Every structure is written in C-alpha cells, then in structure tokens.
Amino acid sequence: MKVAAQADFFIKHYGVEHALKKLKATGYEYITYEISGRYDEPFTTQWTDWDIKEQFSPIGVCATNENLNLAYTTLKSCIYHDLLPETSEARKQMCIQAVKATACMGCPVFAIRPAAMFYKRPDIYEVTKKISWDIFESVKQTADRVGVQLAFVNNNCCYAYGSRIDDLIELSEHFDGKIVIDPMNAYEAHENEMELAKQAGDRLLAFCVTDLEGDEGNPFHFTGKQRTIMPMMGALNYPLIIDRMKAVNQEAIVSVIYNDVLERYVDFVDSEPLMDAFDKLFYKTGCLIADTLDER
Amino acid sequence: MIKLGTQAGFAEDVGISEEEKYRLMSEAGFYSVDYPLMMGYQDPVWQLSDEELKEKMEKIRKVINENGIVVGQTHSPLDGYWGNQPETKNARLHAQIQAIKAASYLKSPYIVIHPLTRPWRVDETVYQEAKKLNMDYYNQLRPYLEQYRVKGAIENLPAQNPVTRDWCGSICSTAEALIDYVDTLDADCFTTCLDVGHAVLSQQDPVAMIYKLGKQYLGVTHMHDNRGSFDDHKMPGMGRIDWYAIGKALNDIEFDGIFNYEADRPYARLDQYKSIFSKEYLRVYAELGKAIVNAGQ
C-alpha cells in the first residue's frame, strides 16, 4: 500500500517548495491537501477562478517537480452542521471552489464528508441525506467539467447519513466516486473502521491514520481538535487495524493526517527539527500500517 | 541554561540493552535521565547492605555516564509513612533512607520525596496537622540528605474527592505550601519539585506556580500534560497546558535546572510496536523540549 502525507500544514508554514522537498526527503511518494477555505470567507465569497489558479497551481507544479503524486484534496470546513438555510448555498459554493482548486493543483480526487449534525432530531438521517445529495449534485457538475473525481469520507455521527457503508457505496456508485475511511470518524459513529474499509472494496481510495481520546463516543459530544491525539496512542485498536489491513484493497493509500496533531504545536512551528521529528514519526506510523515498514 | 531530562520509559522493555537505551537518549539530545527509585518499601533492593547498594548503583551510573548522560534526578518510593501504619513505619522509612543513599551513589543531585498526603481537600486545621506530620517525616530524612549530599525535592500533589472522584488540591498542592515547607525545613537540604500536570489537577495554574516559586524555590520539574480529568502523564501538547507559557516562565525566572519529562506513560500504549518507535519518539520529545525551553527567548 502507498503512504501519503497531509501536506498543507508544512506548506502553510514553510512555503510550498521547502515543504514538498521535506516530505519527499522523508520518503513520501504521495501527498494529500486539506483546503482551509470556509463558506463565509473570501475563498468562497470573493475568489475568482483566476485567484484560485494563482493560489493552487504552484502546489501542483511543485509536486510534479518533486515527483510527488497528489492523492486527493479535502476541505477543512464541514459542508453542513447547522440548519441555517442561508449558509446552504454558501457551503455548496465552498465545495465548488474547492473542486476548482483541486483541478488547478492537478489533483485527480476531491474527498468530501457528507453533512453531519450534532444534535438529535428524529429526521436527522433524511435531513443530512437531502443536504448532502443536494450539494453533491452541484459539486459533481463542476467536478465533471474540470476533470476531478469525487470521494466520500465516512461520517462521524451515527445518526447522520454517510456513516454506514451502504450510504458510502450508494454515493460512490451514483457519483462514480471513491471512498475514504477515517477510523476516528468510524469510532465516533460506532462503526467498525476495518469493516467499512473492507466492504468498500476496490472503491476504497484511502484509509486515514488518526486517533482520538477514548471518551468521545457520544455522537453529540463534538469537541473539535481536543479529540485527536498521536496515532496509536488513543482509543483505536491499531494492532487490530494493522492485522486487518491485509484484507482491504491493497491499491488504497494510507493517508497520514498531520493537521490536528501539529496544530497543537503551532507555537513551536519555528522549530523545524521538531516538525521534522514529527514528520518522521508520522511517516513510520504510516509505513507500519501500510505493512511496508521492512521494505523501507 | 535549561537542560533536558526524561524518564527512560521509551526504551524500557523494547529489547535493547541498558547501554543502547542511554545512548539513544543521549543521541536524541537529552542531558539526563530521571532514574526511578520508586520501588515499594518491601522491594528486595532496600534490603541490600549499604555496600551492596553502593556497588549496584555505581554500576548503573557507570553505564549511564559512559553512554553520554547523567542522572539528573531520582524519585523515592511512593509509599511513605502516613502515621496509620505503625507496623510498617520503620520499613517505610528505611526504604526512603536507602533511596537517598542510592541517589547519592548515582550522583543524582536531587531525590523527589512525596509529602504524606490525604485523598481529600484540606482546610486550615488539616493543613497544619499534615504539615506537622510532614515536618516530622522530612526531618527524619534530613540527616541522610545532609550526609549523602542529595537535595530532597518536595512535590506538589493533587487529590481526588473520594465521593465525586473529582480532582482537587490537597495538603501540598500550591506554590505557597511548597515554599512554606521548604522554609520550615531547610533550604540547604530541601527544594521543590513542580509537577505541572499535578498543578492542573489541583486547580492551580502551573505557569503562575513557576513565577511564585521563582529560581529560589524551583529545583526540580516533572513535565507532562493532561486534560484535567486524569493524571495520565501525556506528552506536552496533548492536554490543556500552555507549553509556550511554561517555557517562557522558566526563562523569565532564569531557571537553570532540568526540564524533566515524566510523560512516557502513554508510550506504553504502543504495546508490541514500542520498539519500532523508540528512536522517533525520543527525538520528538527531545525537540519538543528544546522548543519549549527556548520559548520567549
């Protein structure tokens, strides 16, 4: 299996060339990129196609120069977690802008998580499904136009649409997309991450490396970044995950998620040796999960 | 200049020799090891004769020193004498005394000795009663600290409400209490150990405690993190402590001791994969420590 680094934290702090050289030197051949634009920020409300091209094309060019493959992009911001109609169109536009950015980077896939909702209502499944499909239909049109494939990330709310494999397969079949499994989301949604990954079959694009505290199983207990910790040190059963990785699509990418952990150390980002140390630790973790440790 | 130290849990039980363990720590950038003498009072090591204990500890020190680091601090047995175990009082005191000797043989300048504490919040009466007991306890150890030239470090400890299980302060949880203890005893023989994780659990601000203790009273540190709900000795950054502010405070008071991690407990969670990550984790901790102690400079 291949191993990908989440590149945007390093790009933001060290510049694209330095960051990608660093990741290449670590041993990565693949990168992912989390687009930070929000629905209420200029990225969504003001940026023209030219602005997007100017911002994101250099990342693709530099990745090509460094022989790094762009695996997929994601959006930092949730597509929907409130019921405010006035934000619905803006969130749709945010996703469309992200698809354009993905294309400008020369990245083949944009991964998106279905709408989540962190308070309970009887029709939560139907509501989140409707919101998700509405947005995905629009996003798909742009994606087709710019040559980007969609991928769907498992949801982290057990009552919402998209946390179960049937939903993800439905989405991937309808939108001719791929599936990304984040084990932290699966834990929060009371799903078995390895069953999700296995049942995704050859539609599985990536399996993320994340971990979280063990007391966050309540789907309405959304605590943001506080839940994430160093991979393999939290509630997820990584020995079991590693054991069962052999049963999933071996073409899939092991996607090491840096941001939530490294943002805890943003006060110390000037210490490049510290960031390099994290980088090497994450890479080794990714390689272990990809079962390619010995080969490297 | 602040130096870096750590417990050696990263390299325990990972199938490498003692030599390799300390060499890895040195290569990662650590100046010192926090050598554990926390074995219970009934441990056979405390039954060794002084000569045997000296020989054993000097062998350990030789391996440590030859691989590039020193013993920066040690920790005495956790089961001190609390007055309600008369039948074991002598054995418990004996273990503390032997630990002081062991620290000396390791050439450790400090030994952390927990105060005798109670598992609940204290009022002024309880504080004074406990202080009296602790002064008696520490004064029994004082001649050995003097003779063996090791400083006893009194550590701030939290407590848990026995009914609600909430964490709270106890007998010796504040900077003021630590200073009171040292002033009442003897600053030549005693100093304080600030455990920043314990401070959080005791509803204290560890940064404010650094400023209150100042260079004069802050001798030893235990650096780890938590979220205020459990004493889980996490890696800095994985809990709620503001580590930039910790580093800045240490520099502001011109602390020149050891930034000493007591944060390798979660590492055990890696289970069978521990050995694979020893080197990487040591490097992360070392570089993180360097970044923290450079804060505000």
ipTM for the whole complex: 0.93
Contacts 24+ apart (CB under 8 A), A219-222: A219/A118, A219/A156, A219/A157, A219/A158, A219/A159, A219/A188, A219/A189, A219/A190, A220/A118, A220/A119, A220/A120, A220/A157, A222/A118
Cβ pair A277:B276 closer than 8 A: no
Q: Within a 13 Å sphere around the CA of B199, how many CA atoms are in the beta-carbon half?
A: 28
**Rg, chain A, Cα only:** 18
Lowest mean pLDDT among A161-175, A221-235, A261-275, B266-280: A221-235
Q: Which two tokens stand for residue B227?
A: 């979220």
Within 39-58 of B, beta carbons closer than 8 Å to A belong to none
pLDDT of B126 > 70? The answer is: yes
Q: What is the average pLDDT across B109-134?
A: 86
Task: Tell me the chain A residues in contact with residue B227 when contact means C-beta distances shorter than 8 Å.
Answer: 213, 226
For chains A and B, CB pairs below 8 A equal 67
pLDDT of A25 > 80? The answer is: yes
CB atoms within 10 A of CB A166: 9
Give the pLDDT score at A188. Answer: 85
Q: What is the rounded distance in angstroms from the CA atom of residue A10 to the CA atom of residue A23?
A: 9
Q: What is the average pLDDT across B65-77?
A: 97
Element (H, E) at B177: helix B175-184
Give the pLDDT score at B85. Answer: 74
Phi/psi at B152 (5° precision): -85, 130
For residue A285, what is the nearest residue in chain B, using CA coordinates? B277
Q: What is the rounded distance in angstroms from the CA atom of residue A282 to the CA atom of residue B43?
A: 40
pLDDT of A278 > 80? The answer is: yes
**In chain B, what percentage of residues exceed pLDDT 90?**
73
Q: Terminus-to-terminus CA distance in chain A, angstroms?
A: 12
Cβ pair B267:A233 closer than 8 A: yes
Give the pLDDT score at A293. Answer: 55
- Helix H, strand E, coil C: the string for B93-141 is HHHHHHHHHHHHHCCCCEEEECCCCCCCCCCHHHHHHHHHHHHHHHHHH
pLDDT of B14 > 90? The answer is: no
For residue A213, what is the nearest residue in chain B, using CA coordinates? B238
Q: What is the rounded distance in angstroms from the CA atom of residue A80 to the CA atom of residue B111?
A: 55
Within 108-127 of B, beta carbons closer than 8 Å to A belong to none
Task: Tell me the chain B residues in contact with residue A232 when contact means C-beta distances shorter than 8 Å.
Answer: 269-270, 273
**Parallel, antiparallel, or unpaired: how do β-strands B218-222 and B151-155 relate?**
unpaired
Q: What is the average pLDDT across A22-35?
A: 97
Specify which residues B152 forms β-bridges with. Answer: B111, B190
**Parallel, antiparallel, or unpaired: how do β-strands B167-169 and B158-160 relate?**
antiparallel
Cβ pair B288:A265 closer than 8 A: yes
Maximum average pLDDT range among A109-123, A179-193, B93-107: B93-107
Task: Tell me the chain A residues in contact with residue B273 when contact means C-beta distances shorter than 8 Å.
Answer: 232, 238-239, 288
**B98 vs B168, more confident:** B98
For A7, A208, A227, A258, the CA distances from A211, given in Å and listed in that order, are 18, 10, 8, 11
- Torsion, Cα A72 A154 A276 A14, to 10 degrees, reads 50
pLDDT of A215 > 80? The answer is: no
pLDDT of B12 > 90? The answer is: no
Give the pLDDT score at A223. Answer: 46
For residue B287, what is the nearest residue in chain A, using CA coordinates? A274
Q: Is A277 on the interface with B (CB under 8 A)?
A: yes
Q: What is the average pLDDT across A36-57?
A: 95
Give the pLDDT score at A81. Answer: 64
Q: What is the rounded distance in angstroms from the CA atom of residue B176 to the CA atom of residue B212?
A: 8
Q: Is A73 on the interface with B (CB under 8 A)?
A: no
Lowest mean pLDDT among A29-33, B86-90, B211-215: B86-90
Cβ pair B288:A281 closer than 8 A: no
For residue A215, what is the nearest residue in chain B, using CA coordinates? B229
Residue B138 identity:
Y
* 3-class secondary-structure state, position A239: helix
Lowest mean pLDDT among B76-85, B123-132, B147-156: B76-85
For residue A231, what is the nearest residue in chain B, using CA coordinates? B270
Within 169-228 of B, beta carbons closer than 8 Å to A belong to 227
Q: Helices A16-26 and A49-65, interaxial angle, to 10°? A: 40
Task: Tell me the chain B residues in contact with residue A271 when contact means C-beta distances shorter than 8 Å.
Answer: 287, 290-291, 294
Give the list of residues 6+ apart from residue B163 with CB closer than 8 angstroms, or none. Answer: none
Cβ pair B270:A233 closer than 8 A: yes
- Torsion, Cα A240 A243 A248 A253, to 10 degrees, reads 90
A224 — pLDDT class (breaks 50, 70, 90):
very low
Q: Is B297 on the interface with A (CB under 8 A)?
A: no
Q: What is the average pLDDT across B153-181?
A: 91
Q: Is A237 exposed, middle or buried (0-12, 13-18, 19+ CB in 10 A)?
A: middle
Nearest beta carbon to residue A281 from set B227, B269, B277: B277
